[in-house]
């Protein structure tokens, strides 16, 4: 862009100043009586031209100011509103639609981006990675495109995830997002609507669960997250944000086998710039034992499943959680805790039980881009619950129920850039089953390079 004083609309200003200077020189000289009428006429014409140029300069300056104001309004209106991030620091998760990559590849109006992680995992003989495994920890592709006005499409394709032991194409999120519906009553960003397949808006750990967003390699023991079909409302008003969704509830991706739906909601509050609080509640809805089989919600590296006898036909779980985050100058503190109430219609007995979980973590910058982190999490289930943790899925999801389990993760990482993160971690994990057996051979050592593009 040309400097302001060299732009074409400033040439009249220069001319006006030049002519004005000439006029001042002439009028400052005393005119003799024998000055010619021709000179007087030239001075009169100069005065008139100077007056005209001054008016033109004033008009152009007013036009410039009006255009500048209009351009600012257009830029403000044309920019996409910051899509809800919960709590505004995560990449696109459930209720945060910000584009995954900082510079997505664009095909016309379609944005393509991706992220993933390559890793090395090793656990003890009782863990899920006992053989010193090199793995593709994550590989995801994202597609985002405007549809019309404030309606956007978002799709996620999972090529690999840690939970899946094979490399296959799987659908992640896919939805239409209708942004800023509340502008219909002249209120911005209070109501947005999402329809399709999206993350369950419960808790906050899932918002930073992907490898590039997670300062750790592991997750907490509870690791609550889920993707399900349904309808979601979300928005923000001042210091309060919210997200609420009605979804199918079961793990089946194309059908729902009961009319009872899953309902989840979270309300966030930011009383201070560096303090974020939220409370979440959820019910999975009644799930069919034979057809739904499992919940869409993930818990303890597994799912919610029936704990009843073969005569059980329905089961469900209700959850409540509170979260807190404190942002520091060189790090952050995060903690959450909650409870799960399980129940079913088993005619052979009462299987109702309560499970409690919590997690504390701290991440601190050591020097430059190098940081360290520590996290402690625990699940307490006095009557036992299927909790996989770092253990073998077949052994602990369908085998003996776990009564108590805790995890301590020690992590160091290097933020090479916003698109590349290098991490190393050692995790201690100990537990006890309802049979009295100990779980003491599931410690995890891991290295990972997480990236996005």
Pair 289, 438 in one domain: yes
If asked whether residues 439 and 386 sit together in one domain, one would say: yes
170 lies in a domain? no
Q: For 375-421, give the DSSP string.
A: EEEEEEEEEEE---TTB-HHHHHSSSPEEEEEEEEEEEEEEEETTEE
> Residues of the chain with pLDDT > 90: what percent?
69
Domain identity same for 127 and 50:
no
- Is the same domain home to 356 and 413? yes
Picking from 49, 78, 107, the residue at the C-terminal end of a domain is 78
The yes-or-no verdict on residue 299 having pLDDT over 60 is yes
Residue 13 tokens, joined: 């200003």
- Beta pairing class for 353-367 and 331-344: antiparallel
How many structural domains comprise the chain? 2
The verdict on residue 133 lying in a domain is: yes
Same domain (yes/no): 317, 390: yes
Q: How many CB atoms lie within 10 A of CB 301?
A: 21
Task: Give me the CATH number covering residue 269.
Answer: 2.40.160
pLDDT tier for residue 241 given thresholds of 50, 70 and 90: very high
Nearest to 344 by CA among 248, 258, 402, 252: 258
Please tell me whether the peptide bond between 339 and the residue prior to it is cis, using omega within 30 degrees of 0.
no
Tally the residues of the chain.
Answer: 453
Percent residues over pLDDT 70 in the chain: 76
Maximum Cα–Cα distance across the chain = 128
* Stronger pLDDT, 261 or 91, i.e. the higher one: 261
Handedness of CA 235, 237, 241, 246 (dihedral sign): negative
Q: Do residues 27 and 131 share a domain?
A: no
**pLDDT value at 82 more than 60:** no
Among 52, 78, 104, identify where a domain stops: 78
| Per-residue confidence (pLDDT) for residue 350, from 0 to 100 | 85
Of residues 47 and 395, the one with the higher pLDDT is 395
Strand pairing partners for 335? 324, 360
The answer, yes or no, to whether residue 260 has pLDDT greater than 70, is yes
**Residue 251 pLDDT grade (very low, low, confident, very high; cuts 50, 70, 90):** confident
Structural contact between residues 312 and 344, judged by C-beta atoms closer than 8 angstroms: yes
Q: For residue 364, is it within any domain? A: yes
β-strand pairing of 302-305 with 110-123:
unpaired
Residue 91: predicted pLDDT:
36
With respect to residue 130, please indicate whether it lies within any of the assigned structural domains. Answer: yes
Would 348 be classed as within a structural domain? Answer: yes
Residue 396 lies in a domain: yes
Q: Specify whether 67 is located in the same domain as 215.
A: no
- CA gap 202, 297 in Å, rounded: 9
Q: Could you tell me where the beta strands, DSSP code E, fall in 273-330?
A: 275-283, 287-288, 294-299, 302-305, 314-328
227 beta partners: 199
Any domain includes 63: yes
pLDDT at 385 over 90: yes
Q: Is 342 helix (H, G, I), strand (E, B) or coil?
A: strand
Residues 349 and 434 occupy one common structural domain: yes
Strand pairing report for 225-237 and 192-199: antiparallel
- Considering the domain architecture, whether residues 73 and 215 belong to the same structural domain is answered as no
CB distance 439 to 405 below 8 Å: yes
pLDDT digits (tens, 9 = 90+) for 163-213: 886 777 899 999 999 999 999 998 999 999 999 999 999 999 999 999 999
Q: Based on the domain organization, do 71 and 127 belong to the same domain?
A: no
Whether 219 and 71 map to the same domain: the answer is no
351 close to 307: Cβ distance less than 8 angstroms: yes
pLDDT band at 26 (very low <50, low <70, confident <90, very high): very low
Closest CA to 243 of 96, 52, 48, 442: 96
Range of the domain at 377: 115-137+210-226+239-452
Does residue 86 form part of some domain?
no
pLDDT at residue 19 tops 50: no
121-170 confidence digits (pLDDT tens): 999 999 999 999 999 999 999 999 999 989 999 999 999 998 886 777 89
The residue-averaged pLDDT of 84-110 equals 51
Average pLDDT, integer, range 297-312: 95
pLDDT value for 109: 87
124 and 11 in a single domain? The answer is no
Could you tell me if 324 and 358 are in contact, meaning their C-beta atoms sit under 8 angstroms apart? no
């Amino acid at each position: 862009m040309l400097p302001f004083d060299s732009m074409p609309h400033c040439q009249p200003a220069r001319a006006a100043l030049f002519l004005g200077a000439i006029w001042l020189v002439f009028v400052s000289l005393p005119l003799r009586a024998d000055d010619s009428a021709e000179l007087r006429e030239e001075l009169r014409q100069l005065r008139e031209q100077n007056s005209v140029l001054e008016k033109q300069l004033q008009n152009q300056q007013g036009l410039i100011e009006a255009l500048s104001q209009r351009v600012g309004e257009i830029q403000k209106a044309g920019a996409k509103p910051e899509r809800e991030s919960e709590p505004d620091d995560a990449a696109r998760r459930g209720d945060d639609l910000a584009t995954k990559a900082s510079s997505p590849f664009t095909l016309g109006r379609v944005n393509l981006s991706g992220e993933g992680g390559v890793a090395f995992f090793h656990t003890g003989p009782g863990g899920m990675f006992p053989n010193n495994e090199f793995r593709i920890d994550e590989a995801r592709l994202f597609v985002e495109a405007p549809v019309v006005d404030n309606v956007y499409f978002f799709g996620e394709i999972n090529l690999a995830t840690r939970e899946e032991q094979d490399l296959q194409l799987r659908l992640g999120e896919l939805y239409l997002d209708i942004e800023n519906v509340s502008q219909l009553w002249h209120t911005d960003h209070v109501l947005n609507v999402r329809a399709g397949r999206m993350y369950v808006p419960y808790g906050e750990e899932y918002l930073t669960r992907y490898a590039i967003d997670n300062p750790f390699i592991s997750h907490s023991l509870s690791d609550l997250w889920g993707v399900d079909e349904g309808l979601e409302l979300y928005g923000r008003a001042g210091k309060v944000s919210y997200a609420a969704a009605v979804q199918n509830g079961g793990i089946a991706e194309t059908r729902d086998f009961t009319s009872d739906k899953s309902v989840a909601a979270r309300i966030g509050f930011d009383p201070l710039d560096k303090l974020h609080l939220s409370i979440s509640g959820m019910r999975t809805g009644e799930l069919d034992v034979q057809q739904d089989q499992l919940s869409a919600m993930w818990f303890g590296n597994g799912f919610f499943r029936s704990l009843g006898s073969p005569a059980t036909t329905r089961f469900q779980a209700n959850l409540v959680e509170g979260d807190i985050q404190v942002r520091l100058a060189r790090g952050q503190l995060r903690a959450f805790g909650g409870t799960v109430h399980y129940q079913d219609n088993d005619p052979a007995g009462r299987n109702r039980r309560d499970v409690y979980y919590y997690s504390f973590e701290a991440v601190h910058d050591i020097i430059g881009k190098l940081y360290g982190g520590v996290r402690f999490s625990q699940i307490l289930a006095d009557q036992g619950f299927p909790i996989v943790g770092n253990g073998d899925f077949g052994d602990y999801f369908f085998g003996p129920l776990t009564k108590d389990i805790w995890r301590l993760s020690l992590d160091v990482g290097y933020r090479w850039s916003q698109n590349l993160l290098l991490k190393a971690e050692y995790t201690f994990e100990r537990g006890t089953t309802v049979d009295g057996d100990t779980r003491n051979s599931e410690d995890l050592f891991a290295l990972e390079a997480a990236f996005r593009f």
